[in-house]
Amino acid sequence: MIAAYCWPQSAKANEKIVVYCHTEAKSFKYEIVRQGIEDKTVLSETNISGRTQNIADNIAEQGCDWDPTFVISIEPNWRAGLYLVRLEDSDGRRTEAFFVVRAVEPTDAMLVLSTSTWNAYNTWGGLSYYTGGYVVSPMRPLQPGFLTKAEPYRNRIARFKQWTSEDREAFFGSGYDPWTMAAGWSNWERLFVNWAEQEGYNLNYAVSQDLDQYSNLLDGHPVYISVGHDEYWSAAMRDTVENYIDSGGNAAFFSGNTSFWQARFNDDYRQMTSYKCQIKDDPVYHPEHAPTLSTMWCDPLVGRPESEMTGVSFTRGGYAHMPNAPDGTGGYNICQPNHWVFQSTSLRSGDTLGGEEIIVGYECDGCEFMNESGKLVPTYEDDTPKGFEILGTAPARLWETEEAPGQLADNYIGELNWVAERIGGADTPAIRERFASGNAVMGTFRRGAGEVFTSGCTDWAYGLTNEMVSRVTNNILTRFIKGEGKPS
């Protein structure tokens, strides 16, 4: 076996990244590659002495605590981005690790990678949040598939129920962990980065911990961007983004299931905690008020719905293009075609955006709405922010406990059951029916001095090959970068 991880996970020019590697071979080599529309190797070395590290029983929770193997100094000419560390030992075994280079000066937009969610789904060395764990460490290798994956369009989770036996054999035969369909750079952010670089955008990069640690991380950037599956957020992460928007920054959430669960980092960021549905096991639980309780952000005990930041919530959305969930058209049914988001497109009311590419999957956020004189508007009976404009909808559905796919922990509780109990007041058939059939919702709203766009779905990046989806995305970024939406 060969395995590796980097710490810290991000750094700026003239700072250092330590690589920790375990191998049973005599030696290994590595190369460091910046990933983008064109991969670029920035450093390589061969014939490094191999060494074994302690593989403890509690790695998933405590982290590896390995001895350093080699140190990388970030050169000033290394462009901001995600860098793969590709390692191969003398026995021919290969592995990958990653780190992020942050630009020193602001760029067009700050893309914060959803590394807290990668960590939540990672089963390397033990239990993830989905197989029975409550505390997970980012100081460990990632399972194969999180960072690179052949044919991402074929191996995406929104195609899972259409998989043929050949698809299954190809995926699992490549050694990918099944949970890497639900999170990771290879699924969404890499696709977005390729598109953004092709379109000429200059992105800065950061990881989830940076958003928690540095309250000024977004300063000077006209846009903050979230892409893909961005599920786990700490209170300080939300503080950073919400204060930034209130002060005039713009946020583009090309993501879904966004900030559904609260998580807590420990002081050195080597552990992340989320008890999710097991709220009484959380040490901060209090039956009247617990603002840092690691459960749904919209839980009454927490009292800070994610829709205050994103405009929408998974509690009113759910799954799409997944087992026990609607397929719809695969795209958004367009409303308000004269909105600035749709400028220079041929879209009309009722048209489908991104249907062939299946942009509405696999996890979706929405809001409660009604038809008012032919226009879809929020009911505001949930926590949707005032002034939210609905631009597209598509059907989605929350899962009951028994509807979820296999491989989940025995104590898994379906989101529908949990939403019914915590938001509806009781997990009864009548209350479950109220929340069961949701909608993915795309829209915009103003918050403070800033503006927010939300795609309401994880799979937006798969639609960037579509001319209309690409145009809409360009409209959003151009407006936000140029500050065209600022109130006069």
pLDDT tens across 204-262, in order? 999 999 999 999 999 999 999 999 999 999 999 999 999 999 999 999 999 999 999 99
pTM of the model: 0.98
In this structure, the dihedral spanned by the alpha carbons of residues 321, 184, 87 and 140, taken in order and rounded to 10 degrees, is: -130
Peptide bond into 8 cis (omega under 30): yes
Other CB atoms within 10 A of residue 425 CB: 10
- pLDDT tens-digit map of 284-295: 999 999 999 999
| pLDDT at residue number 407 | 80
Q: Check whether 485 has a pLDDT greater than 80.
A: no
Length of the chain: 488
| pLDDT at residue number 404 | 85
Confidence of residue 196 (pLDDT cuts 50, 70, 90): very high
End position of a domain, from candidates 170, 193, 221: 221
Q: Check whether 488 has a pLDDT greater than 70.
A: no
Q: Check whether 115 has a pLDDT greater than 90.
A: yes
State the Cα–Cα distance between residues 305 and 309, nearest whole angstrom.
8
User: Is the domain of 186 the same as that of 273?
Assistant: no
Decide if 227 is inside a domain: no
Domain count, the chain: 2
CA distances from 449 to 109, 110, 240, 445, 453 (A): 17, 18, 15, 11, 14
Decide if 367 is inside a domain: yes
User: Is the domain of 286 the same as that of 203?
Assistant: no
Decide if 247 is inside a domain: yes
What is the average per-residue pLDDT within 75-80?
98
- pLDDT tens-digit map of 135-164: 999 999 999 999 999 999 999 999 999 999
| pLDDT at residue number 486 | 73
193 phi and psi angles, rounded to 5 deg: -60, -45
Decide if 161 is inside a domain: yes
Decide if 487 is inside a domain: no
- Hunting for tokens 């879209």 — which residue is that? 347
Q: Check whether 406 has a pLDDT greater than 80.
A: no
The mean predicted confidence, pLDDT, of the chain is 98
User: Is the domain of 96 the same as that of 169?
Assistant: yes
Residue ranges with strand state E in 12-150: 16-23, 27-34, 40-49, 70-73, 81-89, 94-101, 109-112, 135-136
| pLDDT at residue number 275 | 99
Contact criterion met (CB below 8 Å) for 311 and 367? yes
User: Is the domain of 236 the same as that of 159?
Assistant: no
Confidence of residue 354 (pLDDT cuts 50, 70, 90): very high
Element spanning 225, H or E: strand 223-229
Q: How many C-alpha atoms does 199 have within 13 Å on its Cβ side?
A: 20
Q: How many C-alpha atoms does 405 have within 13 Å on its Cβ side?
A: 13
Type of residue numbered 457: C
Q: Reduced to 3 states, what is the DSSP secondary structure of residue 395?
A: strand
Decide if 488 is inside a domain: no
User: Is the domain of 36 the same as that of 157?
Assistant: yes
Q: Check whether 125 has a pLDDT greater than 90.
A: yes
| pLDDT at residue number 15 | 99
End position of a domain, from candidates 188, 221, 254: 221
Task: For residue 105, give its domain range.
Answer: 2-221
User: Is the domain of 464 the same as that of 429?
Assistant: yes
| pLDDT at residue number 405 | 81
